[in-house]
Amino acid sequence: QVQLVQSGAEVKKPGASVKVSCKASGYTFTTYYLHWVRQAPGQGLEWMGIINPTGDSTNYAQRFQGRVTMTRDTSTSTVYLELKRLRSEDTAIYYCARAGGGFSDSPFDLWGQGTLVTVSS
Amino acid sequence: QSVLTQPPSVSAAPGQKVTISCSGSSSNIGKNYVSWYQQFPGTAPKLLIYDHNKRPSGIPDRFSGSKSGTSATLGITGLQTGDEADYYCGTWDSSLSAGVFGGGTKLTVL
């Protein structure tokens, strides 16, 4: 079954870091780019960044530069999103999404179930 | 403030047709393919339309997409109550080197 399965919900204090995982199965992991998209409560979708199929290249949205790191473990078909120096505005559902056509700008054809990250003192 | 502009809400009666607009610029919609995503409350978005007007397997032909210049449109015919959801347009922005989305449109089927 082709799917992306994400790690469970997290509660963090302001200033802390969080690391969310996204495990792929049912397809050739090293063929596709993976994106991270987040959605604050009641808000729209926000693109955070992308990691290439082999994990040696990333591109982050300007507003997250310096706070975000995306990594990829091809041995376990898992990608990770780490966000540092958390603030309350980072409370959101974080999604991983596959770029379906094998290119970085391909449409997001497969999504993880989402991981709720709550930042609260 | 989203890079792509969508109306916050649209509504129509069951069986009717509705369109949702998505306005961008020459660096995003004007240059790259547009996708549309459907999202029900509490669930992940789902790809509805890609490459402006193509439907993934399993998406009914009641859903259609088009693009003209720097704007794109999602059309839904034969509206059903089950179509009530949030709809997002998305594409790549070549100037930002980033993915971009519209702010989302809430569809109400009255």
* Contacts B33 to A, Cβ<8 Å: 105, 107
**How far is A104 from B37, CA to CA, in rounded Å?**
18
pLDDT class for A103, splitting at 50, 70, 90?
confident
CB within 8 Å: B99 and A37: yes
**How far is A36 from A81, CA to CA, in rounded Å?**
8
**How far is B87 from B9, CA to CA, in rounded Å?**
10
Closest-CA distance, B64 to chain A, in angstroms, reads: 16
Residue B85: predicted pLDDT: 98
* Contacts B101 to A, Cβ<8 Å: 37, 44-47
Per-residue pLDDT reduced to its tens digit, B4-47? 999 999 999 999 999 999 999 999 999 999 999 999 999 999 99
Q: What tokens appear for A4 in the block?
A: 């992306």
Q: Identify the CA nearest to A66 among candidates A42, A51, A48, A80.
A: A48
Q: Which amino acid is at B75?
A: G
Q: What tokens appear for A95 in the block?
A: 């999604």
The per-residue DSSP string of chain B comes to --SBB--SEEEE-TT--EEEEEE--TTTTTTS--EEEEE-TTS--EEEEBTTTB--TT--TTEEEEEETTEEEEEE-S--GGG-EEEEEEEEETTTTEEEEB--EEEEE-
* Contacts B27 to A, Cβ<8 Å: none
Q: Identify the CA nearest to A35 among candidates A54, A59, A15, A9.
A: A59
Query: Percent of chain A scored above 70 by pLDDT?
Result: 100
CA of A6: which chain B residue's CA is closest? B44
Per-residue pLDDT reduced to its tens digit, A33-70? 999 999 999 999 999 999 998 888 999 999 999 999 99
Q: Which amino acid is at B26?
A: S
Residue A105: predicted pLDDT: 83
Residue A2: Cβ within 10 Å count: 10
User: End-to-end CA distance of chain B, in Å?
Assistant: 29
**How far is A64 from A74, CA to CA, in rounded Å?**
24
Average pLDDT, chain B: 96
CB within 8 Å: A47 and B56: no
Per-residue pLDDT reduced to its tens digit, B51-99? 999 999 999 999 999 999 999 999 999 999 999 999 999 999 999 999 9
Using the predicted structure, report yes or no on whether residue A102 has a pLDDT greater than 80: no
Q: Identify the CA nearest to B103 among candidates B21, B19, B17, B12.
A: B21
Query: Percent of chain A scored above 90 by pLDDT?
Result: 90
Candidates A45, A61, A109; nearest CB to B88: A45
Per-residue pLDDT reduced to its tens digit, B17-29? 999 999 999 999 9
Closest-CA distance, A121 to chain B, in angstroms, reads: 25
Closest-CA distance, A22 to chain B, in angstroms, reads: 14
